[in-house]
């Protein structure tokens, strides 16, 4: 049975790594629903967050294949229930839409969104939440005219604290020891 999985991949900062990771999905005819990369809490280690809809067997296989790549330190997959996650969406709406009374202002309050900037021609609204929440606000803003819309990829942290934190501390220690050995030999 297909369902949504979030892969968290910890990597070194290597050129071409993103390409090698995405090729693994392409070869298995899997679409990536969301992709986000950033530094992790450990200096020099990066976090890729990838969302796919597939079977558990397939996500397990993909995770193992990703871990075999040079530059990959560790890869995990999680279900929605195992994570705390958010996305951010930006909506550019014409300033004249605010002339229709309190409708847009009420929507912004209803969805706990906020106004980022007000310009003569447009206003940019920000909404943080799950994809379904940002899509609902999009649908309600559509009648007022959306000039532009962008949504980020998922950012996620696991509810389980020990697994990744302990692993990252081990990686940080290994990373520091490797640097010390390099300095010693030079």
Position 105 scores a pLDDT of 87
Question: What CA–CA distance (Å, rounded) separates 73 from 57?
Answer: 21
Higher pLDDT, 167 or 186: 167
Position 43 scores a pLDDT of 81
Domain count across the chain:
1
Q: Which domain holds residue 10?
A: 3-82
- Report residue 4's pLDDT band, with 50, 70 and 90 as the boundaries: very high
Q: Is residue 12 part of a domain?
A: yes
Q: At a CB cut-off of 8 Å and minimum separation 6, what does 114 contact? A: 108, 125, 126
Average pLDDT over residues 150-155: 94
Position 165 scores a pLDDT of 61
Per the CB < 8 A criterion, the answer to whether 62 and 25 are in contact is yes
Position 162 scores a pLDDT of 58
Average pLDDT, the chain: 88
Is the model's pLDDT at 78 over the cut of 90? yes
Q: Is residue 55 part of a domain?
A: yes
Q: Is residue 137 part of a domain?
A: no
pTM of the model: 0.80
pLDDT single digits (tens) 107-116: 999 999 999 9
Q: Is residue 46 part of a domain?
A: yes
Average pLDDT over residues 22-43: 93
* Among candidate residues 58, 40, 59, 56, the one with its CA nearest the CA of residue 48: 40
Q: Is residue 54 part of a domain?
A: yes
* Among candidate residues 173, 176, 168, the one with its CA nearest the CA of residue 11: 168
Position 182 scores a pLDDT of 52
CA triple 73-31-3, angle to 5 deg: 85
Q: Is residue 72 part of a domain?
A: yes
Asked whether the CA dihedral 78, 38, 170, 71 is positive or negative, the reply is positive
Q: Is residue 64 part of a domain?
A: yes
Is the model's pLDDT at 2 over the cut of 60? yes
Give the strand order in the sheet containing 72-79.
32-39, 46-54, 3-11, 72-79
The DSSP line for 34-73 is EEEEEE-SSTT-EEEEEEEEE-HHHHHHHHHHHHTSTTEE
Q: What percent of the chain has pLDDT over 70?
A: 85
CB atoms within 10 A of CB 33: 16
Asked whether the CA dihedral 157, 158, 161, 166 is positive or negative, the reply is negative
Average pLDDT over residues 132-141: 95
Assign residue 40 the CATH number of its domain.
3.30.70.260
Average pLDDT over residues 167-174: 66
Q: Is residue 179 part of a domain?
A: no
């Amino acid at each position: 049975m297909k369902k949504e999985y979030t892969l968290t991949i910890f990597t070194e900062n290597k050129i071409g790594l993103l390409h090698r990771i995405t090729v693994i999905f392409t070869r298995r005819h899997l679409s990536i629903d969301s992709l986000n990369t950033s530094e992790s809490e450990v200096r020099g280690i990066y976090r890729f967050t990838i969302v796919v809809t597939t079977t558990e067997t397939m996500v397990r296989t993909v995770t193992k294949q990703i871990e075999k790549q040079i530059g990959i330190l560790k890869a995990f997959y999680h279900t929605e229930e195992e994570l705390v996650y958010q996305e951010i969406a930006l909506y550019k709406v014409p300033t004249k839409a605010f002339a229709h009374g309190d409708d847009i202002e009420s929507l912004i309050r209803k969805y706990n969104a906020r106004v980022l900037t007000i310009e003569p021609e447009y206003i940019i609204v920000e909404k943080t939440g799950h994809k379904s929440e940002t899509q609902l606000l999009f649908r309600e803003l559509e009648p007022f005219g959306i000039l532009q819309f962008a949504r980020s990829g998922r950012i996620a942290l696991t509810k389980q604290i020990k697994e990744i934190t302990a692993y990252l501390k081990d990686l940080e220690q290994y990373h520091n020891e490797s640097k010390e050995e390099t300095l010693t030999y030079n």
